[in-house]
Amino acid sequence: MTDNGRTPEIQNVLNVWRPYVHAISDWQARVKNVTPKATGCGPVYELGNPLGRTTESLAIADMRGIAHAQPHYHTGGETEIYIVIAGSGRAVVGSVVSQLQKGSVLVTPPDTAHYALPDPAEGLVLAVVNTPPFKLENNIDITANDPAHHYNHEQFLALTNR
């Protein structure tokens, strides 16, 4: 691991995708002709592989208008990387709460529970890079305590004021 908790492989992925994502001046124009998928994270626009990197995939998650994302984890060795392109909020990876704002990067290791809490006033829009590429069957929702995947349901309830 590097000092910031990222493996050299994940840092290399970030070094490629971060400039691409930062160059997106109008994410809504970028997804204009993409049919969104309804998910527990709001509408998700799968952009596939605009850089031709077959070991990764890119999507835009539009979390404006939702109170929180559905807690979940990824199997199949998928690491998920968030790069915030608009808005702000918080994200929870395992039990660690991180503040998010435009430009923030957050890495979620495989098999680790995570979810986001958009700022109600601003919302949150994320570029989501998965390596290996996202597969729906590897996305597992969580609704109860799950120590094996570092999920604390009581923490979720407290953060979402339930």
Encode pLDDT of 83-135 as tens digits. Answer: 999 999 999 999 999 999 999 999 999 999 999 999 999 999 999 999 999 99
Q: What is the pTM of this model?
A: 0.93
Is the pLDDT reported for residue 5 higher than 70?
no
Q: What is the pLDDT of residue 146?
A: 97
Structure confidence at residue 2 as a pLDDT band (50, 70, 90) = very low
Secondary structure, 3-state, the chain: CCCCCCCHHHHHHHHHHHHHHHCCCCHHHHCCCCCCEEEECEEEEEEECCCCCCCCEEEEEECCCCCCCCCEEECCCCEEEEEEEEEEEEEEECCEEEEEECCCEEEECCCCCEEEEEECCCEEEEEEEEECCCCHHHEEECCCCEHHHCECHHHHHHHCCC
- Average pLDDT of the chain? 93
What percent of the chain clears pLDDT 70, i.e. is strictly above it? Answer: 97
